[in-house]
Amino acid sequence: MCPGVLIYAGETGCKYFDENLLSNLGVSVDSHGKMPEVVIYYPEKAWLLLIESVTSHGPVDSKRHDELAKLFRNSTAGIVCVTAFPNRSVMARY
């Protein structure tokens, strides 16, 4: 089993971006655009996991899902949108 491969992790002042890997998956984006906070490629399923933290902007809603779908529309990998919660009690609020 192959673990996920980090493609992008964005934090103010600290970023990681493997632009070549994302390009190989058919996606060309500007790292300063509306990227999710974390992008992981899961080769076993050929998925791109687009992860947003609930503490930044709330859970992924239909508007954000549409933005991500548009940004990653040319991906050869499947797209999975995920909201990350710090714990179950925060998750229960949503």
* Length of the chain, in residues: 94
From first CA to last CA, the distance across the chain in angstroms is 33
Question: What are the boundaries of each domain within the chain?
Answer: 5-93
The answer to whether the predicted template modeling score (pTM) of the entire model surpasses 0.75 is yes
Indicate the CATH number of 5-93 among 3.40.1350.80, 3.40.50.1390, 3.90.1150.10, 3.40.50.1820: 3.40.1350.80
pLDDT at 57: 81
Q: Which residue has the higher pLDDT, 76 or 34?
A: 76
pLDDT digits (tens, 9 = 90+) for 50-87: 999 998 888 999 999 999 999 999 999 999 999 999 99
Q: For the CA atoms of the chain, what is the radius of gyration?
A: 13
Find the mean pLDDT for residues 1-29. 88
pLDDT digits (tens, 9 = 90+) for 17-33: 999 999 999 999 865 56
